[in-house]
A and B are shown apart, each in its own frame.
Chain A
């Protein structure tokens, strides 16, 4: 029953997404295509937070750094270096990945609060650098560029200036990234990451290289955030330092938590919800952010597993009531997102840092 409902909904989502330009047009709300595209891109950003927090147990408050670098890679590549579409996209992927390797090598030595803070610090450092190096980045004003064609076939030129092409290109990239992430977390590597999330000391003892695995996760998350940044630059046709500010990282964390960390689609659900609330409410009520803040706090208090966790519980209960082959959620996985670090008896700073 549970799997049936879930796969039906997934199929429905797939059909809707692959027909969205025409469905929205038919409903007379064609402009929603832009919002849908934005949701897709930001979902990918939230997924990068999720890979670190939901699957590796590292809360990063600096993913905006890689998002911003992806944006700049594309924008500077096209506007300053005169690159074509694909090389610029490549630059927008390589730049954040290389940066993630450097930052990660230092950052994943720390955990807990220290990790959250050091990622925040790194992103702020580069935020200020981007802000002050005006000749290269344009500072606050950003770097606008005009869209080069993707490829030309004789007479026909395929370019993202066509909104339908743009949508399908972004949908393709986002789906691909989500699929890769799905494969990653199901692979032995992904299971090792989850082992680290659950208990890094035990993971170390069964022979996992915790430092290296965390670094791999950090680099992969950096690449995901970079891809979403590149796509966002292509979508908005500009890059700006404001997207490197720590509030953007914070939003990514918020979307992930609301949707449900540690599930593949949770972050996408959270992102969609918050962006839809924003789009629907911001015209009616200027201070809709208060509602967003409330949702965040209520989620953290009452549904630490997020919307996906609530959904899962609901289906499980439904199954149980039908009395069929229901399998109750084992206690062990129920709270797997809550950090169950044994509380140190003496709260000294030392016990917080593990290298």
Chain B
């Protein structure tokens, strides 16, 4: 029972981090109509940058500030260089982001090295939680993720830029006619997606290993969350990410992790075939 509780909470924490990353994937899809196969690598870049910041300054908290900013800049550059020239050719965008993913992974391998490294969490110790001694950093990570997700939704619904993003998504031509700079909104959206994935990397760096291949594991999970939640349905994405991670955590307590992954892939398959607009269609919009 204790094991189930621990794995379920682990799942919850991981699900919240994934939700943060998957939100980035979801806004990029919703607005730019692009399946971003490099999104897992954006997360990976976040973890690697965290390692660089931590090992050069010795201060972990600095990474929380610097890495998302670097992510924002990188995202804007990538959008301008790669995504903008291929707008409107949806099928090719998948291929371009696949190429981007190869470039990012190899660049990290060339600069950072192929060996996986671990970062010690900035807060150590445990607290009692539901009858088990639970790692305090993970609790902290969960709260940071919740704060970031809340912050994102506030940005989307309470600021001018957020309103622009929603406006361009609903109807690009009308938004343009109303004076919304659509091209800049695209850049902003992509940059924000990159920043959120790399922020997820900062939060998750002490929990996972830091290496050039972590993105490959994270990407399918993010896709599952986005699909099950409904493509472009942002609250649905968050809910699906948490739901999936907790389910996988609970299954892992009595079966192989591979079985857990197969279960959620099958679930996603069912959703795609039976409810292609996501489990929560109708809850929003």
**A interface, CB within 8 angstroms of B:** 53, 57, 59, 61, 106, 109-110, 112-114, 116-118, 120-122, 124-125, 128-129, 131-132, 246-247, 250, 253-254, 257, 286-287, 289-290, 292-297, 300-301, 304, 338-339, 341, 343, 345-347, 349-350, 352-353
Contacts and interface: CB of A to CB of B under 8 A. Distances in A.
B21 to A, nearest CB: 17
B95 A300 contact: yes
Interface string B90-111: 1110111011111101110110
Given A121-B269, A339-B90, 9 more contacts: A61-B94, A110-B276, A112-B90, A290-B110, A292-B102, A297-B103, A300-B95, A339-B91, A349-B276
Contact of B92 (A250, A338, A347, A349): A338
A287 B105 CA distance: 10
B106 A293 contact: yes
Nearest to A343: B88
B232 interface: yes
Interface stretch (B1-9, B138-146, B165-173): B165-173
Contacts of A61: 94
A64 to B, nearest CB: 13
A296 B92 CA distance: 10
A295 B107 CA distance: 15
A129 B258 CA distance: 8
B262 interface: yes
Contact of A301 (B96, B101, B109, B266): B96
Contacts of B256: 132
B269 A122 contact: yes
Contacts of A347: 33, 169-170, 172
The 8 closest A-B pairs by CB, nearest first: A296-B99, A293-B103, A293-B102, A132-B258, A289-B106, A293-B99, A287-B110, A297-B99
Contact of A124 (B109, B171, B173, B265): B265
B139 to A, nearest CB: 30
Contact of A290 (B35, B82, B103): B103
Contacts of B90: 112-113, 339, 341
B85 interface: yes
B276 A113 contact: no
A129 B98 contact: no
Contacts of B29: 113
Interface in B227-285: 227, 230-233, 256, 258-259, 261-262, 265-266, 268-269, 272-273, 276-277
B99 A254 contact: yes
Interface in B122-159: none
Interface of B: 29, 33, 35, 37, 82, 85-86, 88-92, 94-96, 98-103, 105-107, 109-110, 169-173, 216, 220, 223, 227, 230-233, 256, 258-259, 261-262, 265-266, 268-269, 272-273, 276-277
A53 B91 CA distance: 9
A56 B169 CA distance: 29
Nearest to B268: A121
Q: Name which of A59, A116, A117, A287 has the most chain B CB atoms within 10 A of its CB.
A: A117
A125 B92 contact: no
A343 B173 CA distance: 12
Given A117-B227, A287-B106, A349-B231, A257 B95 contact: yes
Contacts of A129: 262
A300 B96 contact: yes
B89 to A, nearest CB: 5
Contacts of B220: 120, 124, 246
A128 B35 CA distance: 23
A296 B98 contact: yes
Contacts of B173: 345
A73 B144 CA distance: 49
Contacts of B107: 287, 290
A109 B103 contact: no
B272 A110 contact: yes
